[in-house]
Amino acid sequence: MTEQKYILENCKSFELKDIFDCGQCFRWNEEEDKSYTGVIKNGVLNVRKDKEKIIFEGVLDKNIKDVCESYFDLETNYEDIKEKLSNIDEYLKQSVEYGKGIRILKQDLWETIISFIISANNNIPRIKGIIERISKKYGNKIIYKDKEYYTFPDMHALGKASVQNLRDLGLGFRDKRVYDTTKMFLENEITLQELEEEKDVKLLREKLMSLPGVGEKVADCIMLFALKKFSVFPVDVWVRRVMNELYIKEEDETKVSKEFLQQLAKEKYKDLAGLAQQYLFYQRRNA
DNA sequence: ACCCAGGGTCGTC
DNA sequence: GACGACCCTGGG
């Protein structure tokens, strides 16, 4: 664990607030100086902007430049993506403008699976609290600038938690789902590697949905936020709301089926549906 | 005080 | 394929 620094210049489409506050991640918090600090993998990272420079600092067990390039999806040209999406229609153009600094993070697969199982019928402040308590109890402590941080526990560490332990941390009815999913990985009924390597989105989705607590929506979020599958279109209450308001105008939005929304998204947004979803979600939820 | 909704999933009919 | 139950908490 060494303290490292990496400075990125001339990076377009990179706004801290947009990236960390658009609902894709749960472990980043804003500091008083407007920078953000988060725990990723086995380290702590702080990110700040100084004019056009983006400054990454932290303690990591791997090279900070490599970590950032992967985690912040720096190889992807978001200017191109935003251009394409903006040309689809005026609504999306506005959403893209609102969330112009968004990047889809490539987050740790294990942590993303558990985090989104916890997200089911839950709200973001509570989700963050639960993940924080899980990390504090079962993760490893890291000190960075005199503050304590806790890594998200790997499956072996989390496997030490009983259903009751999880209930005590406030997971509610999601306790058994997290417990059973962890058990499936520990017993090698499914492996992270086979999920990472599965190229076929449909098959990947099926494999993810074999996990307790992973339905369609959670599977899509995992694929989008950990496996860079930009074509999937997670349908939650917010996306259903905004899609209905923009294109369908049904009186009762809950009557609009998920299949219909996904078909519509596929027609309109094609292989960039996941990104479109994120811009729409972010604007509708915040504005 | 009371009610409602929240990045849904699951079991049952 | 539709429908209700489900832990818990912040905000109206």
Q: Report residue A286's pLDDT band, with 50, 70 and 90 as the boundaries.
A: confident
How far does the CA of A166 sit from the C1' of C8, in Å? 13
Is it true that domain A237-286 has CATH number 2.40.10? no
Q: Is A258 within 7 A of strand B by CB distance?
A: no
* CATH class of the domain comprising A109-226: mainly alpha
Q: Are A40 and A67 in contact (CB under 8 A)?
A: yes
- Residue A152 in contact with residue A161, Cβ under 8 Å? no
Q: Please provide the average confidence, as pLDDT, over all residues in chain A.
A: 95
The answer to whether residue A255 scores a pLDDT higher than 90 is no
Q: How far apart are CA A90 and CA A97, in angstroms?
A: 11
Euclidean distance between CA atoms A257 and A58, whole angstroms: 45
Query: A139, A126, A122, A121: which is closest to A43 by C-alpha?
Result: A139
Residues constituting chain A:
287
Calculate the angstrom distance between C1' of C11 and CA of A101: 29
* Per-residue confidence (pLDDT) for residue A237, from 0 to 100: 87
User: Do A211 and A184 contact (CB within 8 A), yes or no?
Assistant: yes
Query: Has residue A127 got a pLDDT over 90?
Result: yes
Looking up tokens 């899609």 gives A243
Query: What's the pLDDT score for residue A287?
Result: 81
List phi, psi (to 5°) of A33. Answer: -85, 15
What Å distances lie between residue A40 and A27, A82, A156, A283, CA to CA?
Answer: 8, 27, 18, 26
Question: Are A222 and A112 a contacting pair, CB within 8 Å?
Answer: yes
CATH architecture of the domain formed by A2-75: 2-Layer Sandwich (3.30)
pLDDT of residue A50: 93
pLDDT digits (tens, 9 = 90+) for A166-175: 999 999 999 9
Which nucleotide's C1' is closest to A123 (Cα)?
B6
pLDDT in tens, A181-236: 999 999 999 999 999 999 999 999 999 999 999 999 999 999 999 999 999 999 98
Counting residues of chain A whose pLDDT is more than 70, the rounded percentage is 100
Q: Is the CB of A101 under 7 A from strand C?
A: no
Q: Shortest CA–C1' contact from A181: which nucleotide?
A: B9
**How is chain A split into domains, by residue range?**
2-75, 109-226, 237-286
Check if residue A238 sits with its Cβ under 7 angstroms from strand B: yes
For strand C, is any atom closer than 7 Å to the CB of A228? no
- Fold agreement (A2-75, A237-286): no
Per-residue confidence band for A21, with pLDDT thresholds at 50, 70 and 90: very high
- Residue A141's pLDDT band (cuts 50, 70, 90): very high
Tokens of A185: 């990985």
